[in-house]
Amino acid sequence: MENRNRRQFLKKSIIGLTGAAMVPGTLTSYASVSASKSTVANLPARVLGKTGIRTPLISFGTSGALDTGFIRSAYEAGIKMFFSATYYGEGKNEQIVGAGLKGLPRDSFIVGTAVPPDGFDNRTGTFPNGFDPDAYIKKAEGSLSRFNLDYVDFVLFPFAGKRETVLNEGVLKAMGQLKKQGKTRFIGIASHSDMEEALTAATDSKVYDVAMISYNYKTRNIYSLNSAVARAAEAGIGVVAMKTTAGVYNEKSGVQYNSDAILKWALQNENISSIVSGMSSLEQLQKNIQMIKNLKLSEQELKDLNLAGIESGHGLYCQQCRQCIPQCPNHLDIPTIMRSYMYAYGYRNAEQAWHTLADIDLSRNPCGNCETCKVNCLSSFDVKNKIMDIARLKDVPEDFIKT
C-alpha cells in the first residue's frame, strides 16, 4: 500500500513537471479521433536524395508513440517513414513501431533507427576510448529483432557533429558492413549540434545516403547551414529535418506559437525532403497532414512566424553549441541536460527526458556547489534554473517513469 501511494505521488510529480507545457490539442485520446484514410500517393512528397525514396513531407519521429494503434493510424493516414531509436524507451519504441506495421507490405513503409555507439562522449562529440565496429553491428542487429524485421531502411549514427567522428574509420566500416550484409538499405547520420560540420563531412565521405539534422527557425547561422544542406542535396544525400518545432512553446508566457507556420518555414527549403515530426496524437497528425497540402505561408502565418521569432526568445530550443561546457567548473553536459528539459517541457515526454538524463553522469544536485552560474548561454537560458528543475527526474525510479 505504501508503495502504491509512493507511486501515485511520484506520478503526480512527474505530471506536474511535464504538465506545465501542456499544449492544447494534444490531449484528446486517440480513440476519439479517426485518421483520414488518404493514401500515400495523395500526400505531397519529395524524393529523398539518391535513395530514390519518395516520401510525404511529414514523417513520423516515433518517440512519443506509446501504442501500436497510433503507428498503424499514421500509416493509414499516409505517413510512410517512421524513425525510432534504440534509446527510446530502451528499445520498447522499436517494438511498438514493428508491431504497428506488422503484416503490411514491406515495401509500403520505410523504417529507420538511430543506433548510438557505446562509449560516445556527448560533451566532446568524440569516442575517448575508441570505437568498436563489431559491438556497433551487434547493437544494430538488436534493433532488427525488436522491430521484428529482416532489414531496416536506415541505420543512423546519432549525435554526429565532429568531422573526425562522422569520418571515423571504424564507424564507416561498421556502417558499410551493415549495408553490405543487407541489414540496412541505407546509412546516415543524425545531427543535433555542429550540423554544418557533420553535413559537410557526410557529403565529403561519399558513403552516407541520408542526414537528419536539427533544422529550426531559431537555428543560428541558418544561411551557412542552408549552404551545407544544398551541397549535401547536390551530392545526393537525402536531408530530413528534426526539432523543427522545438521552441514553439513559450514557457514564460505560456503561449503556443503557430506550429503550421514554423513547419511551413522549414519546407520552403526544397532541399529538405521531409520533416520528422515527433507526433503524439492523431489530432497533431491530421493537422500536419493538412498543413503539407498547402505550403504557401499566408499573411497571417507570416505575421505569426515573425511574432514567434521576436517574442519567444529562444524558447526551449538549445542550439547544442556546447560553448557552455568549458564555462562550467563542473563540466556538466549542459546540452544533453537541455535536451532532456525540452523533452519534458516541450514534448511532455517524461520517459524520454528521464532516459536522456540517465545516459549522463549527473548528480541529484549538480549545481549545488555553485552560488552563481558561470555560464553565458548562447540562447540566454537561465541554465542553472533549468538544470535544478530537470535534475529532479533523477529522484524518480525507472519503474515509475515507464508507461
Choose the stretch contacting ligand SF4; rule: CB under 6 A; options: 13-21, 76-84, 287-295, 333-341.
333-341
- DSSP H or E run through 276: strand 272-277
The residue from 261, 338, 342, 362 that contacts ligand SF4 (CB under 6 A) is: 338
Q: How is residue 141 written as a grid cell?
A: 542487429
To ligand SF4, the closest distance from the beta carbon of 158 in angstroms equals 17
Is the Cα torsion angle 315, 317, 323, 329 positive or negative in sign? positive
Q: Contact, 44 vs 57, CB < 8 A?
A: yes
Assign 297 to helix, strand or coil: coil
Q: Which residues, 294 to 323, sit near ligand SF4 by CB under 6 A? A: 318-323
Closer to ligand SF4 by Cβ: residue 57 or 344: 344
Closer to ligand SF4 by Cβ: residue 146 or 384: 384
Closer to ligand SF4 by Cβ: residue 75 or 381: 381
To ligand SF4, the closest distance from the beta carbon of 379 in angstroms equals 4
To ligand SF4, the closest distance from the beta carbon of 382 in angstroms equals 10
Distance CA 325, CA 177 (A): 35
Closer to ligand SF4 by Cβ: residue 35 or 318: 318
Q: Which residues, 360 to 379, sit near ligand SF4 by CB under 6 A? A: 367, 370, 373-375, 377-379
What are the phi and psi torsion angles at 133 (to 5°)?
Answer: -60, -40
User: What beta strand segments (E) does 51-198 contain?
Assistant: 54-56, 58-61, 81-85, 110-114, 152-157, 184-191
Q: Contact, 146 vs 115, CB < 8 A?
A: no
The residue from 384, 390, 393, 401 that contacts ligand SF4 (CB under 6 A) is: 384
Residue whose C-alpha is closest to residue 25's, from 351, 289, 307, 287: 287
- DSSP H or E run through 211: strand 210-214
Q: Is 330 in the site for ligand SF4 (CB under 6 A)?
A: yes
Q: Is 36 in the site for ligand SF4 (CB under 6 A)?
A: no
Q: Which residues bind ligand SF4 (CB under 6 A)?
A: 318-324, 328-330, 332, 334-335, 338, 367, 370, 373-375, 377-379, 381, 383-384, 387
